[in-house]
Amino acid sequence: MILKNFNNEISQDLKIKVLDFINDLDMGHKKNYDDFLWFLNNINYQLLPIIQEKACLTRNKIYGNSVFIRGLIEISNYCQRNCFYCGIRKSNDKVVRYRYSQDQIISIATQAYQNGYHTIVMQGGEDLYYTDDILKDIIVKIKELCPGIAITLSLGEKNKDSYQNLFDCGVDRYLLRHESASNNHYQKLHPVDMSLANRMNCLHNLKAIGYQAGAGLMIGSPFQTNEDLATDLLFLQNFQPAMIGMGPYMSHVDTPFKNQPNGTLDHILLLYSIARLICPKALIPSTTATSSLDKLGRLKALQSGCNVIMINLSDLDKRQSYTLYNNKSYLGDESHEYLKLIKSDIMKAGMIIDFSVGHNIEMKGNNNG
């Protein structure tokens, strides 16, 4: 259990100490593991609005009030992995499996580009069908048909040569959530054929190659403790990912964790805000899981320092089959059909919608391909 004292009253002296910690982060001061653990053990819900405000001010100083829009294509729900929390895990025989063809992916991407999208995110399980050559053909064709478009991949762990091959043909960004920087916790979430060491090696390879490399985690995942979260915050501070993909843990009925409770909205809002202060230049999406947890989740995430929204461009029947967790907001909250609703939330947050490529402020797009 995380943030056990979050809803408890704390003394005025302790409030002042916690705010001093937040001010230190806001000024760019580095913290160690013990510092982060102390903060997580003592943070109180009454201080959340103050932290959210600081996170938004930090974001706006760097990126202005833009919310960068990405077009998301969930290309396949086949996966060779058996992560204990995931609804499309290999062992779930209740999933209606699908994968898009090369032509289908290219068609969706080019249609999105014609509709104004300038970043396409291709996300999927670790589907061995998509070899480097197949992905290269897709990427090169999209880049050819859509001048100036940015491409983000989120397709799991690969060897360094594969990452290099994909970068060389024009991929700009790669999101690979680390899920937990604590080895003990990571092993509780994954089968024995997966290791934190390999996940971290992948992330460091991505960064070394030149990708805008993204990490991330679930907040409130099973067996997660403040000690685990402190390790995650220290990792984010040291790694400084170009993107941070975070969301609340959401259970799925066909997984070993089906009876585990979902994450808490205030907890994910706190971590969005802290992530913004720790990694001020990161692109931080308001994730679909946050919208699925609470109907105001997207708006509140924007009010906590987030500055990216991914719009689901997949066909409706495919969205219904790409269920990493139950009650996914695949229609109404994060879909192209409801763009007006999304624009309304962006305006309520005092921000503007931005369909540009929206690169990390410190990085440029990939000129390969």
Reduced to 3 states (helix: H, G, I; strand: E, B; else coil), residue 74 is strand
Residue 332 pLDDT class (50, 70, 90 cuts): very low
CA 64/CA 57 separation, integer angstroms: 9
> What is the CATH superfamily name and number for domain 45-70+80-92+157-354?
Aldolase class I (3.20.20.70)
The tens digit of pLDDT for each residue in 333-352 reads: 555 667 888 888 999 999 99
The tens digit of pLDDT for each residue in 218-236 reads: 999 999 999 999 999 999 9
Average pLDDT over residues 98-122: 96
Query: Could you give phi then psi for residue 351, rounded to 5 degrees?
Result: -125, 175
Strand bridging mode 150-154 / 66-76: unpaired
Which residues does 83 contact at the CB level (< 8 Å), separation at least 6?
Answer: 89, 189, 190, 191, 194
User: For residue 115, what is the DSSP state?
Assistant: T
Q: How much is the pLDDT for 60? A: 98
CA 290/CA 268 separation, integer angstroms: 8
Q: Exposed, middle or buried: residue 238 (CB in 10 Å: 0-12, 13-18, 19+)?
A: exposed
Average pLDDT over residues 5-10: 93
CA 328/CA 69 separation, integer angstroms: 19
Say if residues 186 and 180 touch (Cβ distance below 8 Å): yes
CA 242/CA 279 separation, integer angstroms: 9
